[in-house]
């Protein structure tokens, strides 16, 4: 066989396999309630279809070029690049296929659609940005993760939807909301451009405060994860640190490990910080009680002197750090502080207790509340000892199912509460 015939055969084989990659709408089996939102479906299918069409055109151009005089080695090099692009297209397809294949599982498939609705509510910030679609799926492990929308995918191109991996061990209780909304916080931070300005502000604070320089350096290193924790607390109130404790209940060696190589704060100080953020956003005695409970589970007794010293300095600096965090004014916040934008009055402890009482008296009210607010009320009831683990799991399963069903029927979800702070209008461009 000639080089021309061989390479044309290989290129046509790529085209044949490419044509067998069908849209998800034609290949995935799931009940309607487990499906993606229409916005997510459109964004993903359009992105993948565009990638397949570009590859098809490149393959046809390569085949046409074989009719011109060429050096076999040069043509082989160009075909190798074409095949790499083909594999990148398949990698991107599989990335979404892994997230969608679970939608055919009984219960879990519908719950994934319910988590999509919860994530969408947690991400909504009317007046500040347009939220991208969110797709959730389950995987093993104890930690959640996100591939943010508009970031580069393997093989190139911007991700059309945020993809959030949720640990199976979180299903199904209010703890899943804590893990999910933390990951949503990473997407929100990117949309608002929070991390780099905060990192700069902390670096400057470290330079001014030489006495506590090391503490500020730790906060600077950990700020991306701290902002995500902040978002979770702001959206879920005390349900956030309760869920965080569930994830971070680890052997002592891990709980007290302090490292600047890890973007996550040391678990011991991370829970205390979440409680301090909650107390600043939604004042009440319950935050101190929860922090004391955590400290009783993991006392500092027995730690090496240096390790204990670092954790103690960090604990003493919590108030100063939280003040910097909540009063930060990023450009995207248009004159507001981060605390003003994120705080929701309906998430005060007293308001959540009233909502829980109303939900108990009228069960249908649970489905009328915004997803984040319903999860926060369940978390508050759990913190108050008014809800058993069995009842908590049952309530969350019903909520996830209802949110998924509502989306599949095209019903309008409860509207996200606007921020307390009304953003100033964007400047109008002038010639």
Please check the confidence at residue 385 and state whether its pLDDT lies above 80. Answer: yes
Q: What is the pLDDT of residue 426?
A: 40
Please check the confidence at residue 425 and state whether its pLDDT lies above 60. Answer: no
Determine the angle formed by the axes of helices 371-383 and 389-408, rounding to 10 degrees.
180
Q: What pTM, to 2 d.p., does this model score?
A: 0.86
- For all residues of the chain together, what is the average pLDDT? 88
What would the mean pLDDT of 415-426 be, rounded to a whole number? Answer: 50
Q: What is the pLDDT of residue 209?
A: 77
Distances (CA, A) of 198 to 27, 124, 205, 313: 44, 21, 10, 21
What band does 416 get if pLDDT is binned at 50, 70 and 90? Answer: low
Q: What is the pLDDT of residue 29?
A: 65
Return the minimum-mean-pLDDT range out of 44-58, 73-87, 264-278, 411-425: 411-425
pLDDT single digits (tens) 317-330: 999 999 999 999 98
pLDDT single digits (tens) 22-66: 787 666 666 778 888 888 888 988 888 888 898 989 999 988 888
Q: How far, in Å, CA of 85 to CA of 360, rounded?
A: 56
Q: What is the pLDDT of residue 222?
A: 96
Q: Are 235 and 376 in contact (CB under 8 A)?
A: yes
Q: How far, in Å, CA of 127 to CA of 129, rounded?
A: 6
């Amino acid at each position: 066989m000639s080089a021309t015939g061989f390479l044309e055969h290989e290129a046509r084989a790529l085209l044949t396999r490419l044509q067998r990659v069908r849209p998800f709408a034609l290949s995935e089996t799931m009940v309607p309630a487990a499906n993606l939102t229409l916005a997510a479906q459109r964004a993903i299918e359009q992105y993948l279809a565009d990638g397949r069409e570009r590859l098809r055109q490149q393959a046809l151009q390569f085949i046409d070029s074989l009719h011109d005089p060429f050096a076999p080695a040069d043509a082989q090099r160009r075909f190798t690049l074409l095949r790499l692009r083909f594999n990148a297209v398949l990698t991107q397809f599989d990335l979404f296929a892994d997230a969608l294949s679970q939608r055919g599982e009984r219960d879990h498939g519908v719950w994934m659609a319910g988590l999509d609705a919860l994530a969408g509510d947690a991400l909504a910030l009317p007046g500040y940005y347009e939220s991208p679609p969110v797709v959730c799926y389950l995987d093993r492990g104890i930690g959640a993760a996100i591939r943010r929308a508009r970031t580069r995918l393997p093989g190139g191109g911007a991700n059309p939807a945020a993809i959030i991996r949720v640990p199976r061990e979180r299903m199904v209780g209010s703890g899943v909301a804590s893990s999910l909304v933390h990951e949503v916080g990473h997407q929100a931070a990117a949309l608002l451009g929070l991390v780099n300005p905060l990192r700069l502000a902390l670096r400057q604070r470290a330079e001014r405060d030489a006495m506590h320089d090391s503490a500020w350096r730790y906060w600077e290193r950990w700020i991306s994860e701290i902002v995500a924790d902040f978002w979770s607390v702001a959206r879920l109130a005390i349900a956030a640190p309760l869920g965080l404790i569930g994830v971070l209940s680890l052997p002592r060696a891990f709980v007290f490990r302090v490292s600047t190589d890890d973007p996550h704060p040391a678990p011991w100080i991370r829970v205390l910080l979440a409680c301090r953020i909650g107390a600043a956003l939604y004042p009440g005695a319950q935050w101190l009680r929860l922090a004391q409970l955590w400290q009783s589970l993991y006392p500092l007794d027995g730690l090496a002197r240096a390790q204990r010293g670092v954790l103690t300095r960090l604990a003493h600096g919590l108030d100063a750090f939280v003040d910097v965090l909540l009063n930060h004014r990023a450009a995207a916040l248009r004159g507001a502080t981060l605390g003003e934008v994120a705080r929701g009055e309906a998430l005060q402890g007293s308001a959540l207790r009233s909502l829980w009482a109303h939900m108990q008296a009228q069960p249908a009210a649970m489905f009328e509340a915004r997803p984040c607010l319903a999860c926060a009320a369940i978390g508050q009831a759990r913190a108050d000892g008014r809800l058993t683990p069995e009842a908590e799991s049952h309530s969350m399963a019903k909520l996830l199912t209802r949110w998924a069903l509502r989306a599949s029927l095209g019903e309008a979800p409860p509207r996200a509460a606007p921020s307390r702070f009304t953003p100033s209008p964007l400047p109008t461009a002038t010639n």
